[in-house]
Amino acid sequence: MKPRLIAGLVFTSLLILKGGGAHAAPDRVDWGEGAPNLSPAQQLSNVDGRYAHWQGIGRVMVDGGMTCTGSLIDTRNTEGLAGPAYVLTSGHCTDPQLSNEFIVNQPATGTVTFNFFHDTEQRQKTYAVSAINWSTLRGQDISLVQLSRSLEQLIADGIKPLKIAAHAMMPNNDILIVGAPLNGFVQRMACKQDHQAAILEGPWRWVDQSSNQCLDVINGISGSPVLGRYTNEIVGVLGTTTRGSGQHVCSTGAPCEVAEGKVNKQLDTNYASPAEGLDRCFLEGHFSPREARCPLGPTWSFPLSTDATDYVKVQREANGEIIPWRWDQRLSLNAPFYRYRHTQTLADCESINGYSEVHASKPEGQNQLSRELREGAGLYFLCVIGQQRPTDVPGQWDARNAIVYWRWLMEEPAPLSPVYRADSIGESDYDVRAYPIRPYLDSDQYRYKTGKVQTVDCDKEENYQEVSPSTGVFHVSIAEGQQKVCLKGGDAAGNSGPSVDFLLPP
């Protein structure tokens, strides 16, 4: 795309970079306008139309969902034929409780507001949501929302759709994230595309995620388009980040990467679901996910089993040998047939290579897959894909939406010491709050005891009491003088961790 002519002025701010910024070839426009990679987010002003090319990036508010960012996408065919207007955003933005199922072509309500800049509030344009065409948190964190107006109507209103990239963005290329934080307006962030990864975040497993370390990714930025810096095309949909997650690992708001059973939490890292090729999911301007080249994948249903925990305590014989743990996973599905694989590398679930021979599905959750886990501590995954006929050969995208069950075998001792805060609530009383850090300091595992300094031994197990998991708070009275407090923690599998002791008053 060439620099725009607006009101007779050429905006030469779309520069070819020089010096220390990202470098563009002489024939390419820099949509980042020279902003250095990893510089703070820049709030954009559009009162003079300077960023008219990003009017189609706006505030998404679907009823029952979260406040997010989304982008109007260009679904016109080669002849320019357009259908309804579609907005691309994250799956958790339209239904954060969706977990492992899909929404396909269902009515919905809500609004999307475009021209969402800080200096154009009087000229913002808001359109009603009419449907969620696609939304999932299984395999990908992605959603397509249909508006009540046609794409042609929005274009006539001055809202410019963004094109979806045909090919994936390779690592080390320059990207932009353009979105609106929860209490702000459209801003731009610049950085490089980093590595691809499969990530685990609480109840969700996402594969083929692109990573980056752009700054200022906070609430409200979810669903923002990740753009090629020199193409202005959507290469990804921003979904999550490790920023602000502290010591939490693999839990909600604290995604982690898992390979060979080992957890790797990348600090200050953002993740995005791939967007390339989504334009192939439209036929004559209308959403058509059954198109052969559409990368969204199948929508087989796997109602979650609730008869097993995700965290398991490793047990050993007296001689130190690991006692194998038998994983019996019951599952139900609406597909007539299925294939499965066990692995300790989450990214393997996306590859159709390595899955079992086909198995016939049994009704009403009577399917069970079993395996003895003998390798000890680490993460283990069971990936399952459905298929219609026993002779079907899995296609390129059939494993993108695999259901992924997991177990995390954990061994003593838990690695973290308790984290707490003691607050005086009067002349002779303290409240102590113990903070959970998933999964290494579980709210159900905190225990405490108190007493005179000379009489309390934190290493002895007697007299410990449970800390309320719902509040994490326990009360200490100092009416009879200074008290010694012992606080123990443990991980989600029930392994004990180190204890801490402190005096009240200090």
Cβ count near 465 (within 10 Å):
11
Total number of residues shown for the chain = 506
Specify the pLDDT at position 8.
30
Domain assignment present for residue 137? The answer is yes
Reported as half-sphere exposure (CB side, CA atoms, 13 A), residue 433 has a value of 9
pLDDT > 80? residue 9: no
Choose the weakest-confidence range: 5-14, 187-196, 375-384. 5-14
Number of domains in the chain: 4
Asked if 246 and 205 sit in the same domain, the reply is yes
Amino acid sitting at position 41: A
Instruction: Report the CATH number at residue 469.
Output: 2.60.40.10
Residues 214 and 261 in one domain: yes
Kindly report the pTM of this predicted structure.
Answer: 0.92
Give 12 or 114, the one with higher predicted confidence.
114
Identify residue 111 by its one-letter amino acid code: T
Tell me: do 178 and 259 sit in the same domain.
yes
Do 150 and 45 have their domain in common?
Answer: yes
Q: Is the pLDDT of residue 4 over 60?
A: no
Verify that 261 and 323 share a domain, yes or no: no
Round to whole Å and give the CA distance between 175 and 194. Answer: 10
Q: Looking at residues 451-480, what average pLDDT do you find? A: 95
Residues 402 and 441 occupy one common structural domain: no
d(CA 144, CA 216): 25
Q: What is the pLDDT of residues 73-121, one digit of tens each?
A: 999 988 888 899 999 999 999 999 887 899 999 999 999 999 999 999 9
210 belongs to a structural domain: yes
Angle (CA) 428-429-432 rounded to 5° is 150
Give the pLDDT confidence score for residue 53 in this predicted structure: 97
The whole-number pLDDT of residue 80 equals: 81
Which pLDDT value is given to residue 12? 35
Shared-domain flag, residues 256 and 345: no
Q: Is residue 337 a part of any domain in this protein?
A: yes
CATH number at residue 182: 2.40.10.10
Q: If pLDDT is split at 50, 70 and 90, which confidence band does 463 have?
A: very high
Q: Say how far apart CA 336 and CA 386 lie, in whole Å.
A: 7
404 and 449 both lie in a single domain: no
Per-residue pLDDT for 2 more than 90?
Answer: no
Q: Which of 312, 205, 304 is nearest to 255 (CA)?
A: 205
Same domain, 61 and 149: yes
Q: Which residues neighbour 415 within 8 Å (Cβ) at sequence distance 6 or greater?
A: 440, 491, 497
- Whether residue 3 is contained in a domain is answered as no
- Domain membership of residue 93 (yes or no) is yes
147, 46: one domain: yes
Rounded CA gap, 78 and 285, in Å? 10
In a domain? residue 200: yes
Q: Are 428 and 472 in a shared domain?
A: yes
Q: Which residues contact 115 (CB under 8 A, 6 or more apart)?
A: 46, 55, 58, 123, 124, 125, 158, 159
Tokens of 344: 């300790």
The mean pLDDT of 474-486, rounded to a whole number, is: 96
Structure confidence by residue, pLDDT tens digits, 306-323: 555 699 999 999 999 999
Query: Would you state the pLDDT for residue 81?
Result: 81
pLDDT at residue 25 greater than cutoff 70: no
Tell me, yes or no, whether 497 lies in a domain.
yes
> Of 410, 436, 461, which marks where a domain is finished?
410
Pick the more confident residue, 12 or 473: 473
pLDDT digits (tens, 9 = 90+) for 321-330: 999 999 999 9
CA angle 186, 188, 192 (to 5 degrees): 150
Q: Higher-confidence residue: 258 or 28?
A: 258
Instruction: Determine the straight-line distance between the first and last CA of the chain, rounded to whole angstroms.
Output: 66
Which pLDDT tens digit goes with each residue over 166-219?
A: 999 999 999 999 999 999 999 999 999 999 999 999 999 999 999 999 999 999
Same domain (yes/no): 317, 401: yes
Mean pLDDT of 440-455: 96
For residue 435, being part of any structural domain is answered with: yes
Sign of the CA dihedral 106, 90, 218, 179?
negative
Q: What is the enclosing helix (H) or strand (E) of 232? A: none
Average pLDDT over residues 247-273: 97
Structural domain span for residue 87: 41-162+280-287
Q: Which of 277, 298, 326 is the last residue of a domain?
A: 277
**CATH number of the domain that 138 lies in?**
2.40.10
CATH number of the domain to which 342 belongs? 2.60.40
The pairing of strands 419-426 and 429-435 is antiparallel
Q: Does an H or E element contain 152, and which? A: helix 151-156
